[in-house]
Structure 1
Amino acid sequence: MKTIVSRLLYSQSSLPRLYAMAASRHGRLLTTDSNKVDEPFKVEEAETVDVPPSPTEKLLVLGGNGYVGSHVCKEALDRGLLVSSLSRSGRSAIQDSWANSVVWHQGSLLSPDSWKDALNGVTAVISCVGGFGSNSHMYKINGTANINAIRAAAGQDVKRFVYVSAADFGLVNYLLRGYYEGKKAAETELLIRFPYRGVILRPGFIHGTRQVGNIKIPLGVIGSPLEMVLQYAKPLSQVPLIGPLFTPPVSVNSVAKVAVRAATDPVFPPGIIDVYGIQRYSQHK
């Protein structure tokens, strides 16, 4: 039987014979194009490639002139995206050439009328909005402002929404109660409004080169060695009370890379990505 099947599959005259057998059995006339030469059936193995995002995709970065936001803008431009940014101060003070390719909007997420036009034509949003201060102020900036953005984006049928939140640091959460309560409230809203298209990134300490005015602060001098050491200490992060303090730092470039990928890759898994997930996804091509 195996020999017969093999001959039927690879013989150049096998297809006409099959057609003739079918015609004689069912009494129907089956025709083939006599000008074509039968060839053995070929199967080629599929190959996956890294396809860049479509240049028609427009990304809005909330807080794009900040530390993380500016790196997100640059990463998105490097990926060939149309990039706009919304912040209270408008255009970034960064003098690098890439900043000229960003469309800068000035407005406050706490005043919807001041930024409603910024969502026009936007296909994805990445929010890097956050801040410190009194508990009430931190809740307003980290929570209410982002909740307003999430609701507005959902109302405009934005495809994907990525929120840069923060890792859980246990006891520290109590000291910065307004900060973490605001973050959690925004996360909850995102999971409700974007259950299949929302991504929450929870980095810990984010290291890299941070520019404050004309001064560049090399946070990587401390953060990079700590990341190398603590990424292998994951079991320690499960220790009650003090465990979260062993959460490894992550580079700002890794956060930016994963944020842009999550905003543009239609198969990127929705939900919460912790610091270990950020490290893992940032290494994927």
Structure 2
Amino acid sequence: MSDVRKALVTGATGYIGGRLVPRLLDAGIQVRVLVRNPDKLRDVPWADRVEVAEGDLGDVDSLRAATEGIDVLYYLVHSMGGKGDFEQIERESAQNVADAAAASGVKRIVYLGGLHPEQGELSPHLRSRVEVGRILLDSGVPTAALQAGVVIGSGSTSFEMIRHLTEVLPYMPAPKWVRNHIQPIAVRDVLHYLIGSADLPESVNRTFDIGGPDVLRYGQMMNGYALEAGLKQRPIAALPVLTPWLASQWVNLVTPIPRALAMPIIASLQFDCVTHEHDIRDFVPDPEGGLTPYRRAVRLALGKMKAGEVETSWQDGFVEGAASDPLPSDPDWAGHTVYLDIKKRETDASAEALWTVIEGIGGQNGWYSFPLAWAVRGWMDKLVGGVGLRRGRRSATRLNTGDALDFWRVEQIDRGSFLRLRAEMRVPGRAWLEMRATPAEGGGSVYDQRAIFFPRGLGGRLYWFAILPFHGVIFNGMANRITATALASTEPAPRLDSEESGRTS
């Protein structure tokens, strides 16, 4: 990237963008990131190494400011949802970026789109990606539109879908598309091509198919995962009655992938998805050692997961239908109807010990109260297309701003003292859960817990009062067990007297 001095990355909080940014920085490139909410970058390890431009793809003025002085622009934004006219929104966003890049003298655009068949009707998701690529190619700015299929890496949506389907089901009733041919690519190879494409000659303005060295059926990919994970290969029966819609419901129920994400992925698998050319090799040499075979990509992804080193995840993205606005600083004065459930406990545990329990909540540690009730609520959310509880958490001990946490998302964290979670389950309104650890005078600490709900219409109000009896059990239990767990972690182990020691030695 000898000629590139400054890059603008859109989609820096997403799966690919969050991995690309630190690699550009390590290559000596100055990076500016365009984000709607800078708070999402508070806890990423490279936050203090980038310039942050606050803006939106729909805001022309913010795009003009963000593209000023930029050599290469990475377009890594794409909606996975299907609500409303998302294709029109995608077209407008791409056109805004194209116009801003041309006006600012950007030297190159690099876009990551979707691998697709040359013939046949495309799904709305793929059709939109093709259209975005066309708009950028027609922008007057030299553009490299990379087209990738299934991306394999720790935390990728495609990998997580394969992983959970294979691990959960000993026998796989599957749609007929499990027989289709797919050319997966390791996320490390996608990043290699993205970085290399920034230095393409000015005359290059075209699409490039990118894929790994293996062409497999989807069923072979699932069984390849099984072998790498130490599982038995799964018998797979292709059933023509499983339409994309039915298959997305199935994936929604048996994996953490919500229906809104599963549907576009499944729709894109209805045809063979393989590269038709590999011309990128003429401009960007393959990585040292060659492209990553599928089984090795799975092995690397599993290794990252076991080591707790998942760099970015599909969970980092926006979830369709979930409220994304932060809690107003004063909800009452913001004109909302507000329902609160407040709990307070004093404990002899230190504030540090209490905070450790708070930051470790969710995932494998659970929610410290009535596990069956939480599980039922998670399944209810799954049944209506929500994310459910199985999203888990990326790290067992640390939370960062923007992290997914079961069916919550970390909206604010003041490490050591305060955590605010925003609900992403399907509810008739907007909900938050706050937990605070405060040192108490004379020792010990105080635990404050607050559940906040903004109801939407009559249904929201009826919902709140219907679950009030459960709140009495769940939220009281949470407060009691969180403080008890914190206290137990600080109490010294009981000492054995000499007689007891003799009996047990």
TM-score (norm 1): 0.62
Residue 196 (structure 2) aligns with: 261
Residue 348 (structure 2) aligns with: none
The amino acid that maps onto 1:192 is: D
Residues 32, 52 of structure 2: 8 Å contact kept: yes
Residues 127, 162 of structure 1: 8 Å contact kept: yes
Residues 125, 161 of structure 1: 8 Å contact kept: yes
Residue 71 (structure 1) aligns with: 19
| SS of alignment partner, residue 9 of structure 2 | strand
* Offset at residue 172 of structure 1 (A): 10
* Structure 2 gap segments, 5+ residues each: 164-175, 212-277, 289-505
Residue 182 (structure 1) aligns with: 128
Residues 151-206 of structure 1: CA deviation (Å, up to 9, x unaligned): 210121110111111111689964x41x23322222222222247x2100101112
Residues 231-268 of structure 1: CA deviation (Å, up to 9, x unaligned): xxxxxxxxxx9699422221222222211221134479
Residues 5-29 of structure 1: CA deviation (Å, up to 9, x unaligned): xxxxxxxxxxxxxxxxxxxxxxxxx
| Identical-pair percentage | 23
Out of 90, 93, 102, which is 1:145 matched to?
A: 93
Residues 214-234 of structure 1: CA deviation (Å, up to 9, x unaligned): xxx8938958xxxxxxxxxxx
Q: How does 1:68-217 map to 2 (within 5 A)?
A: 68-90=16-38, 92-93=40-41, 95-134=43-82, 136-168=84-116, 174=122, 176-177=123-124, 179-194=125-140, 197-210=142-155
Residues 250, 279 of structure 1: 8 Å contact kept: no
| SS of alignment partner, residue 193 of structure 1 | coil
* Offset at residue 283 of structure 1 (A): 2.4
Taking the aligned partners of 1:278 and 1:253, their CA distance within structure 2 comes to 19
Q: Which has the higher contact order (CA 8 A, sep 6+)?
A: 1
Q: Judging changes above 3 Å, is the alpha-carbon distance between structure 1 residues 218 and 163 closer, same or farther for their aligned structure 2 residues?
A: closer
* Offset at residue 94 of structure 1 (A): 7.1
Q: Judging changes above 3 Å, is the alpha-carbon distance between structure 1 residues 284 and 265 closer, same or farther for their aligned structure 2 residues?
A: farther
Between the two proteins, the alignment pairs up a number of residues equal to 208
Which structure has more helix as a fraction of its residues?
Answer: 1
Residue 159 (structure 2) aligns with: 219
Residue 183 (structure 2) aligns with: 248
Taking the aligned partners of 1:183 and 1:245, their CA distance within structure 2 comes to 21
Taking the aligned partners of 1:244 and 1:184, their CA distance within structure 2 comes to 24
Residues 202, 273 of structure 1: 8 Å contact kept: yes
Residues 122, 158 of structure 1: 8 Å contact kept: yes
Residues 59, 126 of structure 1: 8 Å contact kept: yes
Taking the aligned partners of 2:59 and 2:177, their CA distance within structure 1 comes to 39
Taking the aligned partners of 1:244 and 1:128, their CA distance within structure 2 comes to 30
Residues 94, 136 of structure 2: 8 Å contact kept: no
Q: Judging changes above 3 Å, is the alpha-carbon distance between structure 1 residues 198 and 218 closer, same or farther for their aligned structure 2 residues?
A: closer
* Structure 1 gap segments, 5+ residues each: 1-51, 212-216, 224-240
Taking the aligned partners of 1:251 and 1:282, their CA distance within structure 2 comes to 16
Q: Judging changes above 3 Å, is the alpha-carbon distance between structure 1 residues 222 and 132 closer, same or farther for their aligned structure 2 residues?
A: closer
Q: Relative to structure 2, which stretch is displaced further, 101-110 or 182-191?
A: 182-191
| SS of alignment partner, residue 190 of structure 2 | helix
| SS of alignment partner, residue 19 of structure 2 | helix
Larger-gyration structure (1/2): 1
